[in-house]
Structure 1
Amino acid sequence: MAGSHRRRRVGSGASARATRTRIAVVVGVGAAVVGAAGFGAYSVLEDDQAESGGNALSAPASSDPVKTGPPGPRETARAAGDFLAAWAGGNTETAAGMTDDRKAALRGLDSYREDAGVEKVKLTPGRAEGTKVPFSVDARVTFGDNVKPWAYNSALEVVRDEKTGEPEVVWDPSLIHPRLTEGERLRTGSTEAPPIRALDRTGARLDPKEYPSLAPVIADLRERYGAKTGGKAGVKVWTEPADAPKGDKKKDKKDDDKAGTPETLLVLSKARPGTLQTTLDAAVQETAEEAVAKQGGAALVALQPSTGQILAVANQVPDGHNTALQGTLPPGSTMKVVTASMLMDKGLAAPDKPHPCPRYKAYGGWEFENVGDNSFTIQGGTFAQSFTASCNTAFISMAEKLENDDLTKQARDVFGIGLNWQTGVTTFDGSVPVQSGVEMALSLIGQGGVRMNPLTMASVSATAKSGVFRQPHLVPQSFDGRQFATAPKSMKAATAQSLRDLMEETARTGTAAGAMSGLTGQVGAKTGSAEMGGQEETDAWFTAYRGDLAAAATVPNIGHGGEFAGPLVRDVLAAHGG
């Protein structure tokens, strides 16, 4: 591709040779090409007229035909040698001009020095195999105070330019490094954040190998607090998409062969972890991990009502979505804890007062029915009976007496739902939007637009137990001084006591009795079964407290909450509550 009239600069100090002299390297005899940005040398000269049949530095006569066919051994050696010499010497424009894709080659070769931090490189060609030339790379990589040698092998191929007949190097990112693929570049820099050594509230180490559900939690903590815990980030060379912003840090991902997936190629300095003490409790976490392992897709959170400290976070599929902290699911009848408190605060219900529980209730053009396990009616029953039996129509019947935003206000102002919790990790703190008509009625029983997760529902039980919302958190406030969310209001004292009475009766004689049977102490609970579109079964939900421990769990597409989610919560409360 190089026109025969073009002069090639050799190294950084080579002078023009006589017009009948060609520049070449004999490949296969250990000739080395050494260079660095701003300096370098290459001085293997050889007359090649016998093979080329003409002057390499002057245009062929117009009558000379353009050469065709694969380049010969000398042409291959010369093209490879010239290219390696220019690359090693830091003459990237010259080297790029010797390839079949000047723009791509220039980007790649410049990036090799600028983005990968290669300050010195020695390129040693090996014995050619036809038109392919292997070569070894001995480089030096520098990033700040970190300097490390880097040696590896690569290869190039020489072809003939169809227009000029001149030999040229086929450009491919793997020339720079054999692990580099199309659309990628090399980067050298610090990892995204110093690693952390997470500790539980007692100082015990929380190893994600031992507690697999904590792997994404600890990764999140590293992103947020790695630089504040006294650790030090590592320095590495890695591959990344060429269009990735240069400000991005390398993320720790397992090496694989997929294009675009970051892969570590060289470690200049190892990271040093800092230490971060969390509110988690290793013993509670272990029980929670064992509990969720019993049901596919299960998620569970346990926390302390008196402080809001999160004691355990468990997901049965830890490598998947963190449902325990970030799920956005309808919680079904567990939401009746919030709804009941609202009705009692507004004077629309009381445990010992009569409360309708018909089999059918029409509202907003829909007819609601107690179906499945709830296919019943309570004649002349009380609100306590409706709550403990989880009668849907008893709550739907109250919709006509409510304003559209009543439940939203109660959830936010009393239970802290949607107040942008500063837990120390990424969490979804629930949503109870203002709705009207049928959707508002559905929200009273945890359907419609209501969205929760085990964290928010564990907090609901904790608030019911203590009577006061205390923002859940996994990193102590004292660590970084962040502002916790506070609820504007508290339940009326009578309401708080009545709500505990309702939950405790549900645990003794209601829908939660099977799961809570045999537990001693102050135990309250509420079951839930949430309908999800496209599922054959409902999602199972369960929230409860025992002493100064509250927990909530969900299991997808399985059935009734008391039967499937309740036993998971019971395991945690039985081992650590009381």
Structure 2
Amino acid sequence: MRSGAKMGVVGGVFAVVAGGVAWGGLNLYNGLTGGEAHNSDPGLVGKAAPRSISTVRTGPLSAAEISSTARQFLAAWASGKDAQQAARLTDAPADAASYIEDFHTAAHVTKAAITPGTPNGSTVPFTVRATVSYDGKSKPWTYSSKLTVVRGRTTGRAEVGWSPTVVHPDLTATTTLVTDKAAAPPVEALDRDGGTLDAARYPSLGPVLDALRARYGKQAGGSPDVTLRVQERDDSADAGQGATPKILLTLSKGRAGRVPTTIDARVQAEAESAVKKYTNASVVAIRPSTGDILAVANNREDGFDAALQGAQAPGSTMKLVTSALLMEKGVAAPDRPMECPPTATYYGRTFHNEDNFSLKQGSTMRDAFAQSCNTAFIKLIDDTKDDAGLSKEAGEVFDIGNNNWTTGVVTFDGKVPAETGGEAAAEYIGQGTVQMNALNMASITATVRAGVFHQPVLVPPSFDHRQIASAQRQLSPSVAQAIVGMMRTTAVSGTAAQAMAGLGGDKGAKTGSAEVDGQAVSNSWFTAFRNDCAATAVVDAGGHGADAAGPLVASVLAADQ
């Protein structure tokens, strides 16, 4: 470009002014169609391009080629008259055309001025100043990007090296620009007392609030935002998979609808604070008498809602279900003797207690439960005469693994596959193929505490009149009372005593340490109740259940008044 050259948009068409002579975006393209010289030496400007050249030009690009190509491309793109015209100035016309077309149509850019900056080698930065208009609303939109000029391998011409980032830095091969009404109106989530729940105050509720908007936005009485955003293309593999679009410009804010929840603000606040003390920690609190979810909190770098959607081995907290099975089968009772040797073998698979501890002869089921003896429970599996009994107990009494919970958001509802042999024995102590999350174990604890299963709910069913799940049968009242009694012993004199020491009221607990392949330190699990509140926490690589997850649960239980 000659010294003093200027560029701008005249009458809606990008124009380049150099040395007092102006070319519109269309004229700049003539060099490709036999008109004025394109991507050539400045001395050819204004002269007819030679028609007899048959060789493909090679070698480094000249500064004139880089400048001329960039100016022509940006002018053609800005004009909005012909996406193909701009695309033919790139090395991938077919791909480029759809993005440039979307810029003007799907993104609803009505005016654009694209100003190139000073080239840095073959890279040319530029600034886009545009106007976005939709449904009678308009807003200015400014951003910067860059392009690189390359020599075409087959044409020998100077061409724009195509990448979606040329149109916008956030674009990828699977995304595009779209301006319209958001898929779902905003929602204002309310706690059980009518207060507002927001991600600023309760950061770990972010995924839950997003899920509430996606599910209830259209029926909560709100109106959607009008936004310009980066989202998955309709033909991409990720289209419709729930990927969150990136908002680039908001033309108008929608009106939020209101969605009630069962969250208790006091308990949620404590849960938020508690999980921050640990890496990769999750906790859920439930009201046993109703199934209301009082708190959901996570502290994870990946943002995954492990509390509601995680799937991990729960360790010895699973002994709540195992105890229910053994007692309903009549092969165990709290005060009956229960042998606890250092190791136990079932179908060739050997299991051990932590540090190979054992309990003295004459110890009872209550002792084995309180001290978390693995072998005592595994030695009774043969007496049930049903290796798959644990899977049935979990599904029939606790509604685990039936995939029918309707909490108001997406949840993983636990999994206890019907196994045989050594794999079935591993499930007895919460290992093997059994999978749970904090929500599942909090629900199991709540079921034992209440004596009956109440499906956990985050959004009251009365709000959307959805059907909630029920268990196939109720836990035997005497068995429920027996498990509650063993949990009380564990909280007072067993493995959970230290973590629960500061809590008053009627309390009970069960600890768990889940071994994970390739992980040197076990995951820490802890589930407990205090009065009419049940809570479960898991801390990845937290060690013993009472070490990390225990204090976390205790602090959450203390917050329920």
2:314 to 319, 327, 331: 331
Matched, 1:302 2:280: no
Shift of 1:306: 0.6
- What TM-score, normalized by structure 1, do the two folds share? 0.79
Aligned ranges 1:197-236 → 2 under 5 Å = 197-236=188-227
Q: Secondary structure of the equivalent of 1:224?
A: helix
Indicate whether 1:179 and 2:149 are aligned: no
Q: CA deviation at 1:152?
A: 6.0
What residue number does 1:342 align with? 325
- Is the contact made by 2:340 and 2:359 (CA closer than 8 Å) also made in structure 1? yes
The amino acid of 1:452's aligned partner reads: M
Deviations 1:167-214 (A, max 9, x none): 866364589646366746433233443232222111122222222221
Distance (whole Å) between structure 2 residues aligned to residue 332 and residue 386 of structure 1: 15
Aligned to 2:44: 52
Q: Quick check: 1:417 aligned with 2:409?
A: no
Matched, 1:313 2:296: yes
1:6-39, Cα deviation, whole Å (9 max, x unpaired)? xxxxx99xxxxxxxxxxx964376958599xxxx
Partner of 1:170: 160
* Equivalent residue pairs, number: 534
Q: Counterparts in 2 of 1:245-256, with a 5 A limit?
A: 252=244
For residue 507 of structure 2, what is the aligned residue in structure 1?
Answer: 523
Equivalent pair of 2:78/2:113 in contact (CA under 8 Å) = no
Matched AA of 1:218: L
Q: What is the deviation of 1:430?
A: 1.0
Structure 1 distance, partners of 2:92, 2:322, is 68
Unaligned runs of 5+ in 2: 1-9, 27-34
Secondary structure at 2:200's aligned position in 1? coil
Aligned mate of 1:190, from 173, 181, 196 = 181
Matching of residue 277 in structure 1 with residue 260 in structure 2: yes
Once the two structures are TM-superposed, the CA of residue 454 in structure 1 deviates from its matched residue by: 1.4
SS in 2 for 1:504: helix
Aligned mates of 1:327, 1:65 — CA distance in 2:
62
Q: How does 1:533-548 map to 2 (within 5 A)?
A: 533-548=517-532
Q: Which residue of 1 aligns with 2:378?
A: 396
- Deviation of the 1:558 alpha carbon: 3.1
Query: Aligned residue for 1:368?
Result: 351
Tell whether 2:405 aligns with 1:435: no
TM normalised by structure 2 equals 0.81
C-alpha separation between the residues in 2 aligned to 1:144 and 1:559?
A: 57
**RMSD over aligned Cα atoms:** 4.1
Whether contact under 8 Å (2:17, 2:23) holds in the other structure is: no
Q: Distance in 1 between matches of 2:366 and 2:118?
A: 88
Q: For 1:78 and 1:538, how far apart are their aligned partners in 2? A: 61
**Does the Cα contact within 8 Å between 1:34 and 1:122 map onto a contact in 2?**
no
Mapped pair 1:508 → 2:498: no
Structure 1 residue runs of 5 or longer lacking an equivalent are 1-10, 13-23, 36-44, 254-261
Return the offset for 1:540. 1.9
Pair 1:408–1:137, CA change in 2 (3 A)? closer
CA contact (8 A) 2:232 2:238 kept: no
Larger Rg: 1
Aligned: 1:27 with 2:10: no
CA positional deviation for 1:98:
5.2
- Tell whether the 8 Å contact from 2:152 to 2:159 is kept in structure 1 after alignment: no
CA deviation digits over 1:530-571, x for unaligned, max 9? 222222222222111111101111222232212332222222
The CA deviation at 1:319 is 4.6
Question: What is the CA deviation profile of residues 375-426 of structure 1, one whole-angstrom value per residue up to 9, with x for unaligned ones?
Answer: 0223123322222222222211111122022111111111111122111122
The one-letter amino acid paired with 1:523 is: K
Write the letter of the residue equivalent to 1:482.
R
Letter in structure 1 aligned against 2:18 = V
Question: Which amino acid is the alignment partner of residue 364 of structure 2?
Answer: T
Q: Deviations over 1:54-81 (max 9, x none)?
A: 863xx74649999999789799779946
Partner of 1:103: 94
> 1:464 maps to which residue?
448
In structure 2, the CA distance between the partners of 1:306 and 1:170, relative to structure 1 (3 Å rule), is same
Query: How far apart, CA to CA, are the structure 2 residues paired with 1:556 and 1:571?
Result: 18
| Offset of residue 304 of structure 1 | 0.1
- Aligned equivalents of 1:397 and 1:74: distance in 2? 82
CA contact (8 A) 1:30 1:124 kept: no
- Equivalent position amino acid for 2:94 in 1: K
Partner SS, residue 428 of structure 1: coil
Deviations 1:498-518 (A, max 9, x none): 222222222222222222225
CA contact (8 A) 1:190 1:250 kept: no
Q: Matched residue of 2:547: which SS?
A: helix
Shift of 1:100: 5.3
Task: Quote the offset at 1:239 in angstroms.
Answer: 3.9
Query: How many Å separate the matches in 2 of 1:67 and 1:569?
Result: 72
Alignment-mate amino acid for residue 229 of structure 2 = W
1:293/1:33 CA distance change after superposition, 3 Å: same
**8 Å CA contact 1:197, 1:273 repeated in 2:** yes
Pick aligned residue for 2:368 from 370, 386, 393: 386
Q: SS state of the match for residue 18, structure 2? A: coil
The aligned amino acid for 1:338 is V
Q: Structure 1 CA distance, aligned partners of 2:432 and 2:54? A: 82
CA drift of 1:523 comes to 1.3
CA 1:206 to 1:32, structure 2 compared with 1: closer, same or farther past 3 Å? farther
Task: Report the CA distance between 1:457 and its aligned residue.
Answer: 1.0
Change (3 A) 1:106 1:307: same
Q: 1:239 to 1:359 in 2, by over 3 A?
A: closer
When residues 344 and 110 of structure 1 are mapped into structure 2, their CA distance, relative to the original with a 3 A threshold, is same
* 2:556 pairs with 1:564: no
The question of whether the paired residues in 2 share the 8 Å contact of 1:117 and 1:143 is answered with: yes
What does the per-residue CA deviation read over 1:261-300, in whole Å, with 9 as the maximum and x for residues that have no partner?
x4x4433223433222211111001112222233332221
